[in-house]
Structure 1
Amino acid sequence: MGIFTHHRRWILLILCVVTVVVGCTRFIKQGNQQATQHNVVIFVADGLRPTSINATDTPTLQEIREKGVNFVNSHSLFPTFTTANASAIATGHYLGDTGDFSNTIKVNAPVKSAKNSLVPFLENNAVLQEVNKQFGANYLNEISLIATAKKAGFSTAVVGKIGPVLIQDVTQQNGEPTILFDDATGTPTGIPLSSEITTLLTKNSLPLATPSRGANGKAGDSKTPGTKVANSVQQQYFADVTTKVILPLFQQRQKPFVLVYWSRDPDGTQHNHGDSLNKLVPGINGPTVQAARQNTDKNLAQIRTALKQLGLEATTDIFVTADHGFSTLSKESKTSYAATLTYADVPKGFLPPGFVAIDLAHDLKLSLFDPDAQNTPVNPIQGTYSKNGVIGKDPNKPDIIVAANGGSDLLYLVNAANNKAYAQKIIDSLLKQDYVSGLFVDDTLGAIPGTLPLSTVYLRGTARTPIPSIVVNFRSFDTGCGNPTACGVDVADTGLQQGQGIHGSFSRADTYNTMAAIGPDFKQGYQDLTPVSNADVAPTLAKVLNLNLPAQGKLVGRVMSEALIGGPDSIKSNSQTLTSQPAANGLKTILKYQTIEAIRYFDSAGFTGRTLGL
């Protein structure tokens, strides 16, 4: 009996030791997992072209490309606009799912904060919040990476350009728990900050309101050059908020985090610059835009330095992307009726803003109205025009609504929806214009010669917002600098001047965006030749953060596994071309793209000889 008791004591002792060891092992394992849980900084350099990165102007960006991953086969989504690609970066979905088809889209009801327009410009918090309410409290119909990380207990923040900032967590209505800073912070339309953040701002001698762009916000006019300075003051504020308030707070919380920094430069400066008034050269390759690139790189360098000083560098991945590429703006056409008329602030022979609406109304013998001014009649013969257009006999029962965006426009057939015969009349009118290069038509209208369906470019999915009937791509070319994507030119429907900057087309200069990454989850010194796009950003970062992104639609990007440590050396892709049936005048919309399994990466599209990169 004594022997059995002795053995039992030893057994119990061994069990206790095993229990302690197992418990310690679990604790150590959990501790290691907590210690190695990584963070993510997404740095969006709005409108930064890969060709403009170099060791002199952008040493930080150059270093990330050389020491980390350089995505040399990168893509913006078409239409190549900011809010559209912001929706993709936020959710990992193509535009057919997010419904953010361009910066200006048609919605279901007039938006009060956009002068009661049916085609509001989305780079505005009040507009985004109103549009949200029209579409089930989430116009994107998808959950973003930021919202997913927040729900999982991460610290989250988005800083920078108004519009894309709120889109990263579009259902948020106050300053907690995602920290949001943009142009409107501290104003009635700004997203309120928490008391914790306002206290930290004051402690660090930072204003509670974002400074304005100042001179950088001045675009000039047809006789007055635009800005000659970068957006330095405003972005220095954003960089200081990020490095002196947000990152130290996140480090103090000892929780993983996701931070998005959306740099308005070089985009804002490229749009407004005054280096090339009414001239295509130097266009966006002048000294003011160079200063904007340097400003962008300075902000990124400040963020990297702060991560290092806070001891966060080793556990933080930095993913750099640009929402789109960029081109110089042209307003020339030899076929446009609109360009033959005289306007107060448009050089003789140049295209006025809203030229597509003017030309269509003229060809269809219909009246034109301004949706952004209570449907006031527009009479181009008397020198008036409008940015967007309502076409029809009665503005309250329009035939067509034109959302003018820049390098491409959206047309919505209203009373004539699903009317193929009427769509054909519109297509016939557009095919006559030398400024058109490629047309995409809603699949419900059937096959129309000279055009391709919206579904071919992933513009038809589970979107809640109205689907455009026709997407008009404009002509693009280059000025002959020897590197076409570095000196691309778009004809564009905009109030900016010839020689200033624009984007939005299916030119390779606009679809070719900057993408690079560095950090503990990414390979070092790796040049990624595989096609990637902005739709791949969220899935990839969700993967490294062990987050599960929910999805409503199926138009989703992929995990860029080849760029991750332990991933394959490369992934097989194919190059393909899709060509429409010829129109009566012989024009065919041609689409060049690459594929990885079922995912498409769009290079360029348009008519032969009218699209750069085709």
Structure 2
Amino acid sequence: MTRSSKIFASALLSLSLLHVAQARESNPNNVIIFVADGLRGAMVDAQNAPTMHALRNEGVAFPNSHSIFPTVTTANASAIATGHYLGDTGDFQNTLYTGFAATYANGESSVTPFVEENNVLGDLDKHFDGDYLDEITLLASARAHGFSTAAIGKLGPTLIMDHTARSGEQTILIDDKSGLVNEKTGTAEGIPLNQEIQRALQAAGLGQTPPAADKPNVAQQQYLVDVTSRVVLPTFKQRGKPFVMVFWARDPDVTQHNQLDSRYGVAPGINGSTSLAAIRNTDDGLQQLRAALKAQGLDRNTNIFVTSDHGFSTISKQSETSHAAKCGYDDTPGSHLPSGFLALDLANALDLPLFDPDAYGAAIDTQAGCDIPGNSAKPADKFKAKHGKHGNGLIGRSADHPDMIVTAGGGSDLIYLTSAAGKLLVPIIVNSLLAQDYVGGVFVDDGLGSFPGTIPLNAINLIGSARTPRPSIVVSFRSFSTGCAEPLRCGAEVADGGLQQGQGQHGSFSRSDTFNFMAAVGPDFKRNFVDVAPTSNADIAPTLATILGIPLEAKGKLVGRIISEALPGGKNVTATTTTCLYPPANLGHGAQQNEPPLFKLQPALTSQTVGTTNYFDAAGLSGRVLGLNTSGAVSCDPAANSSKENVRK
């Protein structure tokens, strides 16, 4: 196809979508986004999740779907909410360095807060001019254009869907902290419920506070399904206008994290009976919501878009190279990696003090209780090693003015360089990271330079218009298959945090974590259609905004696409796949300096492209990332010019 014919085809598509939007604006259908937190795309079949399996067969299946990296909840919530990649939203991970002390409902504060908390999200908005994402969300736009709106489910991502509407009088916001007041501070932990919803809850015989989470999370999730089915949907029907709603199920995520089916072992890990029950629990919730739509007479004019925020893996805590793994901890089995191992290892490698940002800057001794030469404090001694309360760390001469900050995020950690001295240490930091066997990939801010063995942040859409501080270095941890017939069903990864080996985690750049589940059904989607083109969580908001006929104005440029091929009359799109090789790092030499290196670490990135939209399958060091295949790869060294000529379809 010539360039002029491509432009003409693109213009025809835009005109067609404009007509669709104009038609929907006069008589729009309803939209529900159903998020199954932590559901792996490879796990949906007729046995594990019959409702989702049937839904994708009935409507549109997206077998080439993607989570946004880092593959964690609030990061993907920001993409689902706005249609932007993280370089624009600035929600780089569940734990962020914010540049100020954000306060939790219990009164504690930290410069590295966990953002799955309503008070922290409020502080972020206040600090960043009223909107920390700085991009309009789908729910906010729908609300402004006269739709009824609601977000129901998991604490954190539920509020992110319309985080600037905290009064309860606009969007209905119900999460697992609704109705709760912190006993220590008297601060409300949930978003207020308006009088209309309070009366409806009382009439339905439902309280205002959900039960606590469990494994599987049956009681809490059933309460939220009941609230949606018996309160919110009838309220919307009574209002007599179209609605947009997000239902964010906490399972299977919370169960997969905390299950104990294979304590300290990687098999069956998150494939045990407890996790399978959690998948069915969420599937049953979707079935009940579909039944409620039918009972209310809303099924024929309601679109349901099902997604998961990320995939999942079983945790490994093994390392032969880590200094931290040679130390003894009260909460960690011997020789396993402790929570905060990256901060501990970096501080040790740089010979710099380490402080805990979540304990008001308390010093952490990186040598106490370590079985290392010349250290009299052995792991068996009474002086046990310590780590940060939540695995985060301030590294430098002073807790008040650190040179770098590490935030622990499960399958990946973020490193923020906060001083000129810290930025001078980048070559040493990179080399110390590459020397660790638990590192799966290192991604460095382009402005700091190019370093062998690393991939630029810009290549993975982490540099954009974000207001929040941008990490200087992102570290994704090693991932691998535990040996089953379908590797994406049994992925494992090294993970930073308080959970132990055998439990579940996500966040890495493996395909087991980037492969989420996506499907759609409803009057504005094709029927019995398999969309083999790549899709991602960033595509959801632009697609649904088109269906609803509402604008989704963008400030940043890192946006998802309209999944036009999944809409009635939409034509199939063409995708290209590229595996980029970046300059390798050579570690170690033979007896003579001119001998070949003992081994090299080859960084690579596999991505797919539709038009100008990129989808990232897997990235990191070859041989250390599940799903990263360098066969047919091309050089993407900025100094090379051959990459464009070698893209393969």
Normalised by the length of structure 2, the TM-score is: 0.86
> How many residues end up aligned between the 2 structures?
567
Residue 207 of structure 1 pairs with residue 207 of structure 2: yes
Q: 2:623 matched to which residue of 1?
A: 609
Contact 1:80 1:504 in 2 (8 A): yes
Aligned partner of 1:379: which letter?
Answer: D
Q: Identify the residue that residue 100 of structure 1 maps to in structure 2.
A: 91
Partner residue in 2 for 1:455: 458
Instruction: Give the equivalent residue in structure 2 for 1:7.
Output: none
Q: One-letter code of the match for 2:208?
A: L
Matches of 2:49 and 2:447 in 1, distance apart? 47
Distance in 1 between residues matched to 2:506 and 2:625, nearest whole Å? 13
> Could you report, residue by residue, the CA deviation over 1:317-375 in whole angstroms, capped at 9, with x for unpaired residues?
00000000000000000100100111112111100000001101111101111100001
Partner residue in 2 for 1:77: 68
1:267-308 per-position Cα deviation (integer Å, ceiling 9, x unaligned): 000000011110000000011011101110111011101111
- C-alpha separation between the residues in 2 aligned to 1:533 and 1:547? 20
Q: Mark the structure with the bigger radius of gyration.
A: 1
Contact 1:531-1:573 within 8 A present in 2 as well: yes
Other-structure match for 1:416: 420
Matched, 1:295 2:281: yes
2:613 corresponding residue in structure 1: 599
- Kept in 2, the 8 Å contact 1:36–1:315? The answer is no
Question: Matched residues in 2 for 1:541 and 1:78: separation?
Answer: 22
Q: Which residue of 1 aligns with 2:190?
A: 190
Deviation, 1:578, is 1.7
Q: Is the 8 A contact 1:325 1:509 kept in 2?
A: yes
Shift of 1:35: 8.5
User: Which residue is equivalent to 1:171?
Assistant: 164
In the aligned structure 2, how far is the partner of 1:431 from the partner of 1:245? 53
Name 2:579's counterpart in structure 1. 577
Residue 296 of structure 2 is matched in structure 1 by 310
Superposition RMSD in Å: 1.2
Q: How many Å separate the matches in 1 of 2:78 and 2:193?
A: 23
What is the CA–CA distance in structure 1 between the aligned matches of 2:256 and 2:519, rounded to whole Å? 21
Contact 2:88 2:556 in 1 (8 A): yes
Farther-moved stretch of structure 1 (151-160 vs 113-122): 113-122
State the Cα deviation string for residues 361-391 of structure 1 (Å, max 9, x = none). 1111011111000010112424111110011
Q: Distance in 1 between matches of 2:285 and 2:552?
A: 29
Task: Indicate the residue corresponding to 1:356 in structure 2.
Answer: 342
Deviates more, 1:121-130 or 1:58-67: 58-67
Amino acid at match of 2:532: L
Unaligned runs of 5+ in 2: 1-22, 181-187, 369-383, 588-599, 629-649
Does the CA contact (< 8 Å) of 1:418 and 1:444 recur in 2?
no
**SS at structure 2 position matched to 1:290:** helix
Q: 1:428 to 1:181 in 2, by over 3 A?
A: same
Bigger shift: 579-588 or 89-98?
Answer: 579-588
CA contact (8 A) 1:70 1:517 kept: yes
Contact 1:115–1:374 (CA under 8 A) maintained in structure 2: no
| Amino acid in the other structure paired with 1:453 | P
After superposition, give the CA deviation of every residue in 1:25-80 in whole Å (9 maximum; x if it has no partner). xxxxxxx9789420000000001112221223322111101111110000000000
2:230 maps to which residue? 244
Task: Tell me if the contact between 1:438 and 1:588 (Cα under 8 Å) persists in the aligned partners.
Answer: no
Distance in 2, matches of 1:105 and 1:416, equals 20
The reply to whether residue 131 of structure 1 matches residue 145 of structure 2 is: no
Do residues 514 (structure 1) and 517 (structure 2) align?
yes
* One-letter code aligned to 1:483: E
Distance 1:417 1:150, change over 3 A: farther
**What is the alpha-carbon distance in structure 1 between the residues aligned to residue 24 and residue 252 of structure 2?**
39
2:479 maps to which residue? Answer: 476
Distance between the aligned counterparts of 1:484 and 1:58, measured in 2?
19
Secondary structure, counterpart of 2:244 in structure 1: strand
Match of 1:238, SS state, is: helix
Secondary structure in 2 aligned to 1:517?
strand
Task: Tell me which amino acid in the other structure corresponds to 1:587.
Answer: L
AA aligned opposite 1:127: V
CA contact (8 A) 1:418 1:445 kept: no
- Give the letter aligned to residue 420 of structure 2: A
Corresponding residue SS for 1:269? helix
Provide the C-alpha distance between the structure 2 equivalents of 1:510 and 1:108, rounded to a whole number of angstroms. Answer: 29
For the pair 1:162 / 2:155, whether they are aligned, the reply is: yes
TM-aligned CA distance change 1:327 to 1:33, over 3 Å: closer
User: What's the CA shift for 1:254?
Assistant: 1.1
Deviations 1:478-509 (A, max 9, x none): 01101111000010101001000000000000
**Cross-structure match for 1:402:** 406
Alignment of 1:274-293 (within 5 A): 274-293=260-279
How far 1:588 sits from its partner (Å)? 2.7
Offset of residue 416 of structure 1: 2.9
What residue is the counterpart of 1:87 in the other structure?
78
The separation in 1 between residues aligned to 2:454 and 2:210, in whole angstroms, is: 45
Q: Residue 359 of structure 2 aligns to a residue in which SS?
A: coil
Q: Distance in 2 between matches of 1:84 and 1:41?
A: 20
Q: CA offsets, 1:77-108, max 9 Å, x none? A: 00000000000000000000000000001102
Instruction: State the percentage of identical aligned residues.
Output: 54
Compared CA separation, residues 488 and 528, structure 1 to 2 (3 A): same
**Counterparts of 1:44 and 1:112, CA distance in 2:** 28
Amino acid aligned to 1:172: A
